Structure 1
């Protein structure tokens, strides 16, 4: 196919000043360690209680990923824990993450876009360019605005006979520091647009069967903050309640379904990384996302929902409260996840493997999360969290040379999943029934 050119003559230098500028919060000299916990989690936690550190990861039954500041390093080393360094100097890793120069000519088929990370405005422009390359079968959409007034933009794609088919809905960059999730959303959109334009029968069948609603950055304030001020920021940028001095709510603990179902699933402390807010959906981001989700549900139904995150390489399905409830669709979700994991592994030069299962049982208890809510209130037939690369070499600060491999393997996984959405490929139901709300 002839390259789609948007008749835009200027060239964009991707590694822009907004990304290259050092964060106001310096991580110079900070180290990140992976500590093996195994059967000794309590003993490891007791030792760590004597020092100050930040924790990154979920899977604490196997390991803890901790960020150690220079002033705590000597004390940490005296603990004599079984560990290895993920980042010898986190500040240098962050600088390297954003320093790669790549020239992208604003032609949608120019995949140099996936050689580096980008700022918020460039991401917006990329989706505008994708829309311009597919004008009769797409529309730019918005699910509202952030606390600071940024657009929660996205792209709606469809195939033959116009829009109105069952919906596939993606959310990305829910947690601000998880930069890799936006390129994955963008790459899937790119493959759908270019595949359809080129006459690829498989891609055309996807778009002729489903409408795609792709919202790559649902936490734009937090995302911009990670690029300009604090690379490892997670939450949105909403002020805390009352006299609280801490900022931000965790958008993925703020959804209505199960918001206060388990005290272990989120925090009531405004300073916590998993602060759930004062009440369900009290973030403007969540309000807009929820209203838009319900609109899609009522007008055409939701076939598949995916909330894209990093890191750890997991495919997770409802529910986050591991001790209470299993969905009747668990059987087919589990089988599909297994098949996706196999396809991703086989397509990847890195032999990337994914762990899968119900979120709460596979990782830990969570409440007020998007996949549970979109399944329960949105009546999505399929609902997942996908945690992207990696499993302990880089964590949130994933180098740019990992972007292409990540996006390509996820497209392979999604292609397989799309073929399964209407297939009766398993017998039996999950271990318990869920009637929805």
Structure 2
């Protein structure tokens, strides 16, 4: 549904504007932590066992080739004594978080003015992302509307924007983007915002962009895990899950991208331990965020259908398509998806030389169950359902903590890739 800017802000409420550290918690600075990429040689369980007695924070989940861990300063010597095959991601994780840039203030724009591209020079607070989309929509009110896809556990609105070209709103198949399902993956928010920005600002001057926006309706949700996103800015930069609490459980959070109600019940692609990063929840689709996203998705399916879905993540530089739950399966249009992914990767590389690996999710990276791509493919009936893992690849390049100077290059190369994909699909 369409919302006026004023009503949209009211619905977000005071929780959307909260910037303080939650009561009873201290901000984790990661000062002096050293982050390593550890080679697993396809035996991650053995590596996890070796580091299990340390207070290391595992912050990239790769079940085949490597494990990324942040080690507190008092345990670095003990970690190094394990003699693991490792390279350094961060000499001082806390210092690199500081270099990533403080969360910048957004001053907004005057009525009907287009937000400045300087928005993409820094990271911003959740409330400012809401305002940015409101300002962008107001500047192009004849081609866009603000939309919502439910409410988070803590009461924040999952907001987005709907864009259209000729034929009017809702007249074309959907291109559907999710950003920041995993809270610490800040760059994904900026990338989908950059795509929305360019679709609107270039529509009247760029024939390629006009053709794309005349061909599809776009539904872009930049922060589908708002509670977790806020928590990464107030308390713990490396938080991944939502902030859902459950009776009888001391650990907080569900991985929204292991909670989709498709193949959720299978094992080995998610965790049943509430303390784990990939905790799947108690039942399929039982997180508030997933309930809203499922309803929104089915609304698109039942309207004009979904041409393309992309769940944007970081990091690793991958283009992944179904399936996550079974490494032996490939989608019926596998050859076409592979061709499109190859062309997209080639177009991305033209901008800055950034290389992307592509293929089915499970066999290319690792098994996942209850994930968005498998749901969108099999239930949402999207013709193409992808995950794109953004910069960097890992070692020596920052992991989740991507410097603000890399926001625009990351967004630009993905915009170029999307122009190719959307024209070719």
Q: Indicate yes or no: 2:405 matched with 1:401.
A: yes
Contact 2:181 2:257 in 1 (8 A): yes
Q: Once the 2 structures are TM-superposed, how far is the Cα of residue 157 of structure 1 from its aligned partner? A: 0.3
SS at match of 2:68: strand
Counterpart-to-counterpart distance in 1, 2:383 and 2:206: 27
Q: Is the CA contact (8 Å cut-off) linking 1:253 and 1:367 kept in structure 2?
A: yes
Q: Shift of residue 99 of structure 1?
A: 2.8
Whether the 8 Å contact between 1:20 and 1:95 is mirrored in structure 2 is no
Q: Which residue of 1 aligns with 2:334?
A: 330
**What is aligned with 2:228?**
222
Match of 1:250 in 2: 255
Question: 2: distance between equivalents of 1:411 and 1:337?
Answer: 14
Residue in structure 1 matched with residue 123 of structure 2 by the alignment: 117
CA spacing shift, 1:258–1:100, aligned 2, 3 Å:
closer
CA contact (8 A) 1:172 1:217 kept: yes
Structure 2 residue matching 1:135: 3-state secondary structure: coil
**1:27 is the counterpart of 2:27:** no
CA 1:45/1:143 → structure 2, altered by over 3 Å: closer, same or farther?
closer
Match of 1:180 in 2: 187
Secondary structure at the counterpart of residue 174 of structure 1: coil
Deviations for 1:70-115, whole angstroms, at most 9, x for unmatched residues? Answer: 2221101112223222111111111222337687663535211111
* TM superposition shift of 1:353: 0.6
Deviation, structure 1 residue 56: 2.1
1:130 paired with 2:132, answer: no
Q: Secondary structure at the match of 1:33?
A: strand
Partner Cα distance (1:251, 1:44) in 2: 26
Aligned partner (choices 65, 71, 74) of residue 71 of structure 1: 74
Choose from 135, 144, 147 the match for 1:141: 147
Deviation at 1:243, TM superposition (A): 1.2
CA distance in 2, matches of 1:230, 1:145: 22
Q: Is the 8 A contact 1:144 1:285 kept in 2?
A: yes
Q: Deviations over 1:354-396 (max 9, x none)?
A: 1111100011111000010011111000100000000112111
Question: Is residue 360 of structure 2 the alignment partner of residue 358 of structure 1?
Answer: yes
2:14 — aligned with what?
none
TM-score (norm 2): 0.89
The residue aligned with 2:423 is 419
Which residue is equivalent to 2:213?
207
Match of 1:259 among 261, 264, 269: 264
SS at match of 1:305: strand
The offset of 1:154, in angstroms, is: 0.4
Paired residue secondary structure (1:162): coil
Aligned-partner SS, 1:338 = helix
RMSD: 2.2
Aligned length: 401
**Residues 167 and 302, structure 1, Cα contact 8 Å, conserved in 2:** yes
The 2-side partners of 1:419 and 1:213 are apart by: 17
* 2:323 maps to 1:319: yes
More deviation, 59-68/163-172? 59-68
Give the conservation status (yes or no) of the 8 Å contact 2:42–2:63: no
1:293 aligns with 2:297: yes
CA distance in 1, matches of 2:162, 2:228: 24
Could you list the per-position Cα deviations for residues 170-198 of structure 1 after superposition, in whole angstroms to 9, with x for gaps in the alignment?
A: 011000010001100100000000011x3
Query: Which deviates further from its counterpart, 198-207 or 368-377?
Result: 198-207
Alpha-carbon distance in 2 for matches of 1:160, 1:63: 47
Indicate the residue corresponding to 2:85 in structure 1. Answer: 82
Return closer, same or farther for 1:341/1:159 CA change in 2, 3 Å cut-off.
Answer: same
Q: Aligned pair 1:171/2:139, yes or no?
A: no
For residue 200 of structure 2, give the secondary structure of its aligned residue in structure 1.
helix
Tell me if structure 2 keeps the 8 A contact 1:308–1:386. yes
- Of 46-55 and 351-360, deviating more is 46-55
Q: Which residues of structure 1 form unaligned runs of 5+?
A: 1-15, 422-437
Is 1:53–2:59 an aligned residue pair?
A: no
Q: Closer, same or farther in 2 for the Cα pair 1:100/1:289, shift >3 Å?
A: closer
Contact 1:23 1:228 survives alignment (8 Å): no
